Amino acid sequence: MTDIAFAPATRLASLIRRKKIGCLELLEHYLARFEKYNPAVNAIVVTDIAGARKRARAADRALAKGQPWGPFHGVPMTIKESFNIAGLPTTWGIPGQEKTLAKRNAAAVERWLAAGAVIFGKTNVPIHLADGQSFNAVYGATRNSWDLTRTPGGSSGGSAAALAAGLTGIETGSDIASSIRNPAHNCGVYGHKPTYGLCPLRGHALGEALSGADISVIGPLARSATDLAPALAALAGPDEIEASGMTFSPPRPRKTKLKDFRIGVILKHDVPTDSRIYRVNGKELSHAHMLFWAGLTGLVYLPATAAPAGFTPAGLPVGVQIVGPQFGDRTTIEFARLLETSYQGFVPPPGFE
């Protein structure tokens, strides 16, 4: 039987609400898996176990009183290292930043807490979040649970690796040129890059910077497409500074079946070359190939959902990027959900079941 740790976060929340499992009980299960599997994968690099246990106990007490906190009540989760959590370091993989502790939570962290989640750690990144792998001199390299000699991608590589290995319930990363989608693809999980501006960036920064970077977005990663829509709903909406005059309400998808969608597929293209060369399926390809299509959707602010779509002959996961119109986030997520139910969903990597 597949470990409960691989269940979608929405199912975990349902089990908690129906009192099939306790919040602290589920947290301890993930912590046991963290102790067992994380040393090999090195996905979770910062923890607040005492604080998480305290919150999980409070979540159990609240539920006993009939007072659920939100849609993810009691679900254990981690978050990308680049998000501020009060009292924990935010290094962005930069040596010397280890003792710089955040003074306040990022907006995304506050929204996850409001949704009821129990955050117990932070996941690894490359230095400055600026690479397609997840190594830095502070925390070392994160490995892909499908093949420990390979990278999970970057920059949200720790996020995707933790999900694939069943070390966390749900995750949040950030993305400019594929930092959510590349790791989701490499690790066989789901990731959503929202329409630019849909989710507030406050607290996803070194120091106390308030201004967000152009193109940059934050968004959820999960083991099921069914988790992406409620996770996006928890994260989306204007920050408190803009909330008095702005609201976000992405339209509902108009299609309900895969056959109803009209899809454009690009089979070949010419890219700007890059000096870095990779060998893929026996062919030498420029590094620019990995970034071009993911980067293009970011450049024009469009939403994109990464979803599992099969395996290579060597048994490694393959993903597909689903791009939609501006604010068509719920449509790309729904398309991923339809693919999940009719074709293939998340598969746990061998050795972690």
Instruction: Tell me the per-residue pLDDT of 100-140, one tens digit each, with 9 for 90 and over.
Output: 899 999 999 999 999 999 999 999 999 999 999 999 999 99
State residue 339's pLDDT score: 97
Task: For residue 334, tell me if it sits in a domain.
Answer: yes
CATH number, domain with residue 151? 3.90.1300.10
Give the residue carrying structure tokens 């979803």: 307
Residue 287, classed as helix, strand or coil, is coil
Count of structural domains, the chain:
1
Task: For residue 350, tell me if it sits in a domain.
Answer: no
Task: For residue 232, tell me if it sits in a domain.
Answer: yes
pTM: 0.96
State residue 33's pLDDT score: 98
**Whether the Cβ atoms of residue 112 and residue 172 lie closer than 8 Å to each other:** yes
Closest CA to 86 of 134, 137, 51: 51
Task: For residue 68, tell me if it sits in a domain.
Answer: yes
Task: For residue 168, tell me if it sits in a domain.
Answer: yes
Task: For residue 321, tell me if it sits in a domain.
Answer: yes
Give the residue carrying structure tokens 């009192």: 19
Cα distance between residue 57 and residue 94, in whole Å? 34
Percent of the chain exceeding pLDDT 70 equals 99
Opening angle at CA 27, ends 23 and 31, nearest 5 = 170
Cα distance between residue 166 and residue 184, in whole Å? 14
Parent domain of 107: 4-342
Q: Which one-letter DSSP state was computed for residue 87?
A: T
pLDDT tier at 206, thresholds 50, 70, 90:
confident
Task: For residue 206, tell me if it sits in a domain.
Answer: yes
Task: For residue 352, tell me if it sits in a domain.
Answer: no
pLDDT at 1 over 60: no
Residue 309, classed as helix, strand or coil, is strand
Closest CA to 136 of 119, 106, 150, 157: 157
Closest CA to 248 of 102, 93, 111: 111
* 166-185 average pLDDT score: 97
Enumerate the active-site residues: 80, 155, 179
